[in-house]
Amino acid sequence: MGDESNITFPKSSPLTTIPISSSHGEKPSKFNGHDFKRWQQKMLFYLTTLNLAKCLSESQPVLEEGETDKDKVAAVDAWKYSDFLCRNYVLNGLDDSLYSVYADIKTAKELWESLEKKYKTEDAGKKKFIVGHFLDFKMVDHKSVVSQVEEFQLILHEIHAEGMFLSESFQVAVVIEKLPPKWKDFKNYLKHKRKEMSLEELIVRLRIEEDNRKSEHKAGRSNSMEAKANMVEAGSKKGKKRKHNDEGTSGGKPSSKKFKGKCYNCGKPGHRAKDCRAPKKKKTGQVNIVDDLSDDMGEMNLCAVISQCNLVGNTKEWCIDTGNTKEWETL
């Protein structure tokens, strides 16, 4: 082989070589007593790439007494060397706390079987925990459904690794039943489908449905934001228009009607006595002057009314014109 290096055993025939692959997979992490099956599979693959996996299952060949055949002697020597490498690769794959426990075992096969006997027996109780995880697994609304299905697939894989096989139709039914509450309608839709589907087909359907829901959610949010923006813009335009109308009619100031009566202080029209700039006249008698009128009465012609008059020396009756066109008052 082009990727092989030759290792020669000087004690045996110089023509005997052992092929060792120079290209191999990544070395597995050290085994610390947990997940033995996973570590065992990785280590088996690693030793296979090194052409050493046969030492885990084959026993050491034995030479007959007085055997002088160079090929047989070379084969035994080659196996011993391969077993030496395989055994130490397995030991180096153990954590330091386990290395000293198994370091005295002589062959790779004995070491491998000893590890299996101890840790596979301990993993037997793991089945109950895996089944518990399978039954207790529930999907929630705040996480991706597809990612949760992938997590559930890992539990299914662990169940199969423990030798408990579930039919694919059963797996599909369980996944449908474990969909989150917000997927109730889609769950019922899948339940009423008569045509059976594989687990992969179900995952594809779930992925499409989840993508559609995400798109609808984004579209709904954008429409809601657009509606709010339109409402704010419309309110702003309405406020500006109202302000513009106010400024156009009154120059930015509250509008007021111009007073059309005469001032009681100076007698000039166009302003009230309280706004008159002329010097204030002194009040004489008991004349009641209406100083401030409402806007609705601003256009009425009013005059002073003498409510009381004392006449001395003339007992004749007098008629006083009060300016009221409706009635006369006799004194």
Q: pLDDT tens for residues 64-117? A: 777 778 888 888 889 999 999 999 999 999 999 999 999 999 999 999 999 998
| Tally of domains in the chain | 2
Inside any domain, residue 143: yes
| Strand ranges, E, within the chain | 4-8, 17-21, 319-320, 329-330
Mean pLDDT, range 124-131, rounded to an integer? 78
Answer whether residue 59 is part of any domain: yes
Is there a single domain that holds both residue 119 and residue 131?
no
Q: What is the pLDDT of residue 284?
A: 53
Q: Which domain holds residue 146?
A: 126-217
Check pLDDT > 80 for residue 248.
no
Alpha-carbon distance 14 to 76, whole Å?
14
Residues 110 and 209 placed together within one structural domain of the fold: no
Q: Does 184 share its domain with 142?
A: yes
Residues 118 and 20 in one domain: yes
Average of pLDDT values for 271-283?
Answer: 77
Q: How confident is the model at residue 330 (pLDDT cuts 50, 70, 90)?
A: very low
Q: In this structure, are 30 and 96 located in the same domain?
A: yes
* Final residue of a structural domain among 167, 192, 217: 217
Same domain, 85 and 154: no
How far is it, in rounded angstroms, from Cα 8 to Cα 2? 17
Ranges 1-10, 62-71, 272-281: which has the least confidence: 1-10
pLDDT at 286: 42
- 236 located within any domain: no
Domain assignment present for residue 213? The answer is: yes
Are residues 165 and 200 part of one domain?
Answer: yes
Q: What per-residue confidence (pLDDT) applies to 15? A: 38
Confidence of residue 56 (pLDDT cuts 50, 70, 90): very high
- pLDDT value of residue 261: 79
Is 302 a residue whose pLDDT tops 60?
Answer: no
| Same domain as 105, residue 140 | no
Are 172 and 210 in the same domain?
yes
Residue in this structure with the two tokens 């829901």, named with its chain if needed: 213
Q: Which of 62, 43, 49 is nearest to 108 (CA)?
A: 43
**Higher pLDDT among residues 250 and 123, named by residue:** 123
Answer yes or no: do 87 and 146 share one domain. Answer: no
